[in-house]
Amino acid sequence: MIKYTIKRLLQSLLTVLVVATIVFLLLRMLPNEYYFTEDQVNKLSEEEKNERLRAAGLLDPIGEQLLRYYGGLVRFDFGDSRRIQTGVPVLKVISERFMVSMRLGVSALLIALAIGIPLGILQAMNKDKIPDHIGTAYTVFINAVPPLVSYSLILVFGAHVLGLPSLYSTRRPGISSILPIACLSLASIAHYALWTRRYMVDEMNKDYIRLARIKGMSNRNIMIRHVLKNAFVPLAQYIPASFLLTISGSLLAERFFSTPGMGPLLTDAISRYDLNVVQGCVVIYATLGVIGVFLGDVLMMIFDPRIRLVGKGETR
């Protein structure tokens, strides 16, 4: 277990390093004019531009730039923002947006888990009955209708019927977060309900469940002690990744409600050529992704004692 954990951690660090390196090299292939704002391009002479590029280290050999970049990664220093918030450290720019996305994302995920998993259990226990048909209809509707359409329906209902704010406000973050959270949780509820039902139905059709019924075990005990427990193992693998990716922000939902979160930050940084912010966002997204996959594997081992990690050449 310890050996596997260390190995996976090293693989995760290597993955993040490779992603960060590729992004760094791709951005360095852009013309140096993107370092300057439109006003600076028109006003500064070539000598002044070169002086600023030299002061920023962008005229140094690429090897030196890369080593300096690695040193910044170790210190969590991505430099300063040049367009989004000029002169402000990238980590500060990201942390402000990250806190907004984390609050919305965690709330939406908790709602999705609290509703989606019980809904899937209810569907599985009432397979081919009315509760199952209702849950299936909801899942199909969410997956079939474009997100903008479902968001618009929630916006109309929430704003015109319930009187909720239609746009996010930093002055009233609580009440103005209700509609974004509702939109973020819609797809996750359908996702968890769908897969919970699927895994439980698969377990219910296995031979050991038939044997338990023949022995006279009650349906309640079968569902709790066997079906739900075993069905939750594959589902648990995706919960950490869902959690970490959810707190990283949703581009569509956050733009729809003008939420100052992580979702629109990366696209804004790319469109405005704020290269330091782009690098910082990519590194954070890559880190959250690999950590989510790693924690998912660990969580599967915790929930299923049958899973054992062994050396090369042995069997599981």
pLDDT digits (tens, 9 = 90+) for 91-141: 999 888 888 888 888 898 899 989 999 999 889 888 889 989 999 999 999
Domain boundaries along the sequence of the chain: 2-89, 91-273+296-303
Please tell me whether residue 80 adopts helix, strand or coil conformation.
strand
Contact 143, 136 (CB under 8 A): no
Q: What is the pLDDT of residues 236-256, one digit of tens each?
A: 777 777 777 676 667 788 888
Strand positions, DSSP E, the chain: none
Q: Which residue has the tokens 């299936």?
A: 136
**What pLDDT score was predicted for residue 72?**
86
With a pLDDT cut of 90, the percent of the chain lying above it is 7
**What pLDDT score was predicted for residue 114?**
92
**What pLDDT score was predicted for residue 314?**
46
pLDDT above 80 for 313? no
pLDDT above 80 for 274? yes
N-term to C-term CA, the chain: 13
**Mean pLDDT to the nearest integer, 265-283:** 87
**What pLDDT score was predicted for residue 227?**
82
Q: What is the pLDDT of residues 52-69, one digit of tens each?
A: 788 877 778 888 888 988
CA atoms of 240 and 300, how far apart (whole Å): 11
pLDDT above 80 for 35? no
CA atoms of 219 and 205, how far apart (whole Å): 14
Architecture of domain 91-273+296-303: Orthogonal Bundle (1.10)
Contact 240, 299 (CB under 8 A): yes
**What pLDDT score was predicted for residue 308?**
57
